Chains A and B, each alone.
Chain A
């Protein structure tokens, strides 16, 4: 009986580092990413997924015209600065935003004149010195609100 207990104990201890990786990333972004102010609504285009160092994944989204979009990325600090770019989802894949040119800022707000397919490309850096099997959640939060026109803004001036 005692032997069986020891066996279970040893096996549990041995497997615990693996089991700790068994994480569900589904709602990671909801609790770890920075949100915009309350004028924005949560978009269910938001997504989290499991990443390892050096991995790049793409989130293909639709951004409507006449709406402002807020996009934020987040991950465990051990992953370092997360690199994200926003690309046009077409043959040219024009880069609209690259946070590497913006001090690895974790969020951006943009407005759109026409509706377009976009790619949020997320890369976890790999400097070659860390454990490449380290797997952690990475989240992307997307929020939206109606774009205010200059006229609407003018209406809000004064008391």
Chain B
């Protein structure tokens, strides 16, 4: 009996090794892909596009100098109207940007309300398992601790991003990111108020041209999905306005401080005129309206 088992084992070994040695490179790759459960070459691609999330874009907010305004936020009741997955994902991005705005202004009550909305919309999209199951409770428990709110929001958004990547839902991530991009611009326009070329917020708005390019490149990878390709069409009018912007180029100089920090000077600075500012504002508001009122369906 024992001998039979050994023969059987040797047979299995020979069979599998035989298959590996006799197969062509392509076949071997396919077998490996089946074993690994994913396409290795796809995993090891050479270029990855990344872009700042709304909290990074809005990090210029200084609550001592700027005024919080809850009227500009997307009303929480609107969630009821988002029935299809595209509008749910795009508007989840809008609410995530609103939550970043709220957190940067350190508004406790609104933070809990908007996190609840983000959670419920995630649930509708069946991605709420991305969050720590106790996240809502932790939010409630830490409502008076401003620093904890920022940490919790960051943690929740990082979990969500990781979850979408891990579960091959990057199409949904592209939609959320498009919504977040539009809302970040919308909020920044409100904070900037009128045009002043020395205003840091207006510079940040014009710099979104670079963010938009990376976001479009990223989303194009998933544009075989109709929802993503439709959402990309929302961004193209904004891109058209950005493409009218001029740049002033200076030689890039890198200096090193005593403590080893690099200071990067020069490069291509984006210039925005008042006319372009108004045009960009108009098209951004129109795009935001289209998403939040679900007009693109």
Q: A22-B35, A50-B44 are in contact. Are A62 and B211 (CB under 8 A)?
A: yes
Would you call A7 and B12 a contact (CB within 8 A)? yes
Set of chain B residues within 8 Å of A64, measured between Cβ atoms:
52, 56-57, 59, 204, 207
Would you call B35 and A57 a contact (CB within 8 A)? no
Tell me the residues in window 27-44 of chain A with beta carbons closer than 8 Å to chain B beta carbons: 27, 30, 41-44
Chain B interface residue count, CB cutoff 8 Å, equals: 58
A61 an interface residue at 8 Å Cβ cutoff? yes
User: Which bucket holds chain A's interface residue count?
Assistant: 35 or more
Interface string of A3-31 (1 = CB under 8 A from B): 10011001100110011011011110010
Where chain B touches its partner, the secondary structure class is helix
- A115 shortest CB reach to chain B, Å: 4
In the assembled complex, the Cα of A135 lies from the Cα of B270 at a distance in Å of: 41
In the assembled complex, the Cα of A60 lies from the Cα of B165 at a distance in Å of: 17
Would you call A111 and B59 a contact (CB within 8 A)? no
Would you call B269 and A114 a contact (CB within 8 A)? yes
- B156 shortest CB reach to chain A, Å: 12
A104 an interface residue at 8 Å Cβ cutoff? no
Query: CB < 8 Å: which of B12, B35, B267 contacts A18?
Result: B35
- A144 shortest CB reach to chain B, Å: 6
- B interface residues (Cβ-Cβ under 8 A, vs A): 1, 4-5, 8-9, 12-13, 16, 32, 35-37, 40, 43-53, 55-57, 59-60, 154, 157-158, 161-162, 165-166, 200, 203-204, 207, 210-211, 213-214, 217, 252, 254, 260-270
- A interface residues (Cβ-Cβ under 8 A, vs B): 2-3, 6-7, 10-11, 14-15, 18-19, 21-22, 24-27, 30, 41-45, 47, 49-52, 55-62, 64-68, 88, 90, 94, 96-97, 108-117, 135, 142, 144, 146
